[in-house]
Structure 1
Amino acid sequence: MASDPTSADKDSPTSTSVVVEEELTPLKGWKRIREVIWDGPRPEDERRLVQKLDLHLMSWATFGYFIRLLDSSNITNAYVSGMKEDLDFHGNQYNLLQTFFTCGYLASQVPSQFLLTNLRPSLYLPLAELLWTIVTFCFAAVQNVKTVFALRFILGMLEAPFAIGVLTIMGSWYTPSELSKRIAIFYSASYAASMFSGYLQAAIYKNLDGARGLPGWRWLFIFCGIISIWGPFWGFYAVPDNPFKTRARWISEEHRQKHIARMTKVDRRPPQPLTWAKLKNIVTRWPLYVFTFTLITHCVVTQPLNYFSVWLKSLDRFSVYQINLFPTAGQATGLVTTLIYSWLSDGLGKRWQVLVVPATINFVGMVIVASGASYGVTFFGYLINAASWGFWPVLYAWAIEILHKDMEERAIVIGVAQTLGQAFIAWVPVVILDVGKYAPSFHMGFSIMTGISVLQFSSIFLIRYMTKNEKSKEAVSEPANEDGREGRV
């Protein structure tokens, strides 16, 4: 019986008989500009194929990450907009808001990543979105600090699968010349969310504070829930799983085979059962440990902007509206620089060289905020730190390329690295950036982070060394690869 090319569940063998090949024709005008700044020259058929993928996968992923960060970062805006006083926060309870969220995140992340190797992301991830949206609405009704802590823990558990799940899916559909910029677009949604949360809270505080007897910070959670509710329903339709096994109705069998051919060309291999032997091989190889170490350092040294609002409030010279507004300049800086790094990385085919730039900027920013300089210099130090956030997308694109042969290793390395990075965020700020003890200067904490920034910089060259060493060993044991597969050095 012939298979239905429009079947909702396409589980046929990984045929690569369909290839994406056609003669390239020179483009002019806007199409030529688009080619230069986007994915480079390619056949028109393949361009349309990737555009359709972007329309579905990237639209869902970017909006989903936007609402994920909106629903987790709005707590800072709520805190400085009246929640602290209304619920009687004191001591280091502000730090515990992040700690409880991170603990929930950690409790769920690695188990979720293992589940994603066996369950369909197209069902699992949108369901998680729907549940965290419900929790967001619940924040509008909290009456005490303990309830806030409990909801933050649950929110962390529900949001944990999303980012690493999306990265795993992207690594199954996009080539090296396409990947970093799309991870950057996905990740940049976090900056947009933080900016939007600041603007939204500023507008709500100005126009709705006290409306229907509710303070502005409660209205913030209500509006965030309303914005978020649309994401999961689009996800149930748009998420494509992986090319070798997809239930997406918008991907025909012909297009699925073309996507498989694209992945075969860059040596991305189909998923395999996660056996104990494979797991043992993963935990004895260097990528799990080196990428995890690198991400831990990055997560720790990108924390200063989270304390920018606390520092601004301590100056007693700005209104609540201004305190919510000023940090959005950092988010804008992070957004623009992240896109620049990733465009350069994809366009030039360079990973470690580009990573050196945000790592250097981070070190400079950490030195400034740790020095206790004047108001203007410290303000600049907080903002410039955001220009180092673009390290993350390029690092993950590099990891996906290095681990191109094994989908399960990619998933586990990304999951463990993300989990332990978040684990350090859970306790490091509580110890060295305790608002109750060290605000507003945080001199000791930022000084320690300056040293960690040096470790982040050094880890780039450690990854480069390990990668070159591994390639040298493979070159000795295997014939040279002459099939034209695409990659990055």
Structure 2
Amino acid sequence: MVFGRWSKYLPHERIVSDKPEESGRIEDSGDESSSIDQVAERKNSQEEECTKALSIVTESGTLRDDVPYELRDEAGRKWWKYFDEFEYRANKEYKKSRNWYSFLYPNHTTQSKAERTLLYKLDLMIGLYFLMLCWSKSLNTNNYTSAYVSHMKEDLDMKGNDYINTSVISNVGAIVFQLPFMYILPRFPAHIILPVMDMGWTWFTFACFRAHNLASLRAFRFLLSAFGAAYYPVSQYVLGSWYAPDEISSRVCLFFFGQLLGGVTSGLLQARIFKSLDGVLGYAGWRWMFLIDSIAISLPTAFIGFWVIPGIPSKCYSLFLSDEEIRIARRRNIRNQIKDGVAKSELPSLFSKKLWKKVFGAPTFWVLVVFDTCSWNNMTAFSGSYTLWLRSIPTYSTVQVNNLSVLPACLGFAFVAICAFGADFFRCKWFFLVFAAIMNCVSCAILIKWDVPSGAKWFAFLMTYWSVAPSPCLWSFINDFLRFDPQVKAITWIAIYSISQSTYAWIPSLAWQTEQSPRFKVGYTVSLIFGAIYGLWTFVVLFFYKRQERRHALDNGIILYNSANGEQPPPFVETDLVQVGEYYYLKNGSKVSEYSDSKQLEL
């Protein structure tokens, strides 16, 4: 082989068959072309092998032998069932297979310890890595605000709206350079994409340390954001390929913990660095923050990502997952109808009219665009208004401003955790989206009034992170909507994110003009409006989500009929299924064999 014996320590695509004896890497042989042919043949058959199971295609969909089916009569269905988010997404067996205390680590598919071990490993690899990655990006973003109030404004002669305009220019870089990932995401492995882009991010973070005028700072921030364009869509694409719908919000929560950690550590680090290093070697304190961020944080993150990002179950590159764990991940995706990837040769051309019609012709695309746009533009937490308000108070020194600036982000940890873990525990994302929107509107209303007691103003500022808190629920919704087609998922994710972020590139320049600091009446009004729409629009999203899941009820293990309308159970219930206890299984399937000697079997 090209790399010799040590090649096994480099990430490589895992060729894993459903049959354990056929798994593993192709070893060196005397006939190199023969080995290459074997690899190609096994790669092409990999997805087919991992989805093999006894199945029957009916008019309503495909019946599988590894899925227990619930027969459900919808006669007399209550109106309030509209608010049962998982009504059609999961059957009774799926819901009962998880104890309340094991909601973070269930084993729905295999009922085995190995499935939980897989989740433990995934959390250590991608959960904690994406936390670290998001922390690195957030730290740099927040450093810009911290540096601004730590004399960067004076050093670079920033005036008027230069602060917000520089942020807008930075956002444009991210928006423009996200678009190529519509093509890249389903075709190239994430363990290559993210580290390469991270190296560019690291370089231009270091470049900000050397910025000597506003023009150079803006150029560096633009290019920095361009290299950071990948980490949001790629991370969500990977997370959505490994986790079930009632597991993913908790893992996206780790991602957002990284964002909040950046907000907390930026102010504290800037305060410490400003105090200890300001003027050392002739460099201002705010410059040292960018230097430390690039060399000590961003650079190690790039190297670590190459080894820990596992790719996706169907094209796994992990050095740390066993063959059996990869098989379990694939079976979980089959059960949850998550199609994580297909061969490059099977992907349609990016310029196919049929593909773009499939994306933009779906009403759910536009529903999600509005949803994500409202999420972006109701975020008072990231406006910098709180820090600028602190700076306007003459009794606070620069060090005190940087220290106090972390308070809302610290509370944000609790707010995000409540929404994310609550959504997975109760299998209900919409409630936490609505509740967070209400809290954010209350905060904005107080700040619009402004002339309120000091305690009320402090309360309002400390509540601003409710605008961020439900984001894991939002992204979990989007991942579940897009689980059926990897190419459509990639295009839709990028399109939704780009459209939403593009509005965030110009709305803040109008609503959060630095000259209005510290009051920002227009900004809080805009956030209140978007926050109110965000909460109300959640019910529209819930409608489309439940409509989609009802259409896929059979794939979710639910056989629907309505006796009130004169309907009877579908004919395949009698001809192709057999009842075991309260559930139905495909005849001659593995589950039926398990119960073949049991008195529970009812023919």
- The answer on whether the counterparts of 1:362 and 1:388 sit within 8 Å (CA) in structure 2 is yes
2:311 equivalent among 223, 237, 241: 241
1:278 offset after TM fit, Å? 2.9
Aligned equivalents of 1:408 and 1:140: distance in 2?
39
Aligned mates of 2:25, 2:254 — CA distance in 1: 30
Report which of the two has the higher share of helix.
1
1:283 aligns with 2:360: yes
| Pairing partner for 2:329 from 259, 284, 290 | 259
- Say which one has the larger Rg: 2
Contact 1:17 1:257 in 2 (8 A): no
Alignment match, 1:322: 400
User: How far apart, CA to CA, are the structure 2 residues paired with 1:83 and 1:247?
Assistant: 43
Matches for 1:46-445 after TM superposition, within 5 Å = 46-225=115-294, 226-272=296-342, 273-275=347-349, 276=352, 277-305=354-382, 306-374=384-452, 375-436=454-515, 438-445=516-523
Q: Which amino acid aligns with 1:466?
A: F
1:16 equivalent among 46, 50, 73? 50
TM-score by length of 1: 0.90
How far did 1:444 drift? Answer: 2.3
**8 Å contact from structure 1 (residues 133, 228) kept in 2:** yes
Shift of 1:36: 3.7
Unmatched runs of 5 consecutive residues or more in structure 1: 22-31, 485-489
- Verify the 8 A CA contact 1:173 1:263 in the aligned structure 2: yes
Question: How far does the alpha carbon of each residue in 1:92-141 deviate from its partner, in whole angstroms, 9 at most, with x for none?
Answer: 00001210110001111122243112222110111111110111111111
Whole-Å separation in 2 of the counterparts to 1:7 and 1:286? 46
**Residues of 1 paired with 2:391 and 2:423: CA distance?**
38
Shift of 1:474: 5.9
User: Are the aligned partners of 1:291 and 1:413 in contact in 2 as well (CA < 8 Å)?
Assistant: no
Residues 267, 194 of structure 1: CA spacing in aligned structure 2 closer, same or farther, 3 A cutoff?
same
Deviations, residues 230-266 of structure 1 (Å, cap 9, x unaligned):
1111111111111111222323433222210111111
Q: Give the whole-Å Cα distance in 1 for the aligned partners of 2:462 and 2:233.
A: 27
Shift of residue 425, structure 1, vs aligned partner: 1.6
In structure 2, C-alpha distance between the alignment counterparts of 1:184 and 1:473, rounded to whole Å: 29
User: Aligned with 1:480: secondary structure?
Assistant: strand
Q: CA deviation at 1:470?
A: 3.9
Shift of 1:303: 2.9
Match of 2:3 in 1: none
Amino acid at match of 2:491: I
Greater percentage in strand: 2
Aligned residue identity for 2:508? P
Code of the residue aligned with 1:301 in structure 2: it is: N
Distance change >3 Å, CA 425–CA 450, structure 1 → 2: same
What do the CA deviations read for 1:185-213 (whole angstroms, capped 9, x no partner)? Answer: 11111000111011100101111111111
Q: TM-score, normalised by structure 2?
A: 0.74
SS in 1 for 2:559: coil
Larger deviation: 370-379 or 420-429? 370-379
Q: Distance in 1 between matches of 2:458 and 2:260?
A: 18
State the alpha-carbon separation in 1 of the partners of residues 120 and 409 from structure 2: 28
Distance 1:51 1:472, change over 3 A: closer
Deviates more, 1:116-125 or 1:447-456: 447-456
**Distance in 2, Cα, partners of 1:257 & 1:219:** 47
Q: Percent identity at matched positions?
A: 24
Give the Cα separation in 2 of the matches to 1:416 and 1:249.
32
User: What number of residue pairs does the alignment pair up?
Assistant: 472
User: 1:412-469, CA deviations, whole angstroms, 9 ceiling, x for partnerless residues?
Assistant: 3322222222212211111121112x22211123223222221111110111122234
Deviation at 1:182, TM superposition (A): 0.3
Question: How far does residue 43 in structure 1 lie from its aligned partner after superposition?
Answer: 2.4
* C-alpha separation in 2, matches of 1:184 and 1:113: 25
Contact 1:292/1:413, CA 8 A, preserved across alignment: no
RMSD after superposition: 2.7
Alpha-carbon distance between aligned partners in 1 of 2:324 and 2:372, rounded to the nearest angstrom: 39
CA contact (8 A) 2:373 2:499 kept: yes
Query: How far apart, in 2, do the equivalents of 1:123 and 1:174 lie?
Result: 21
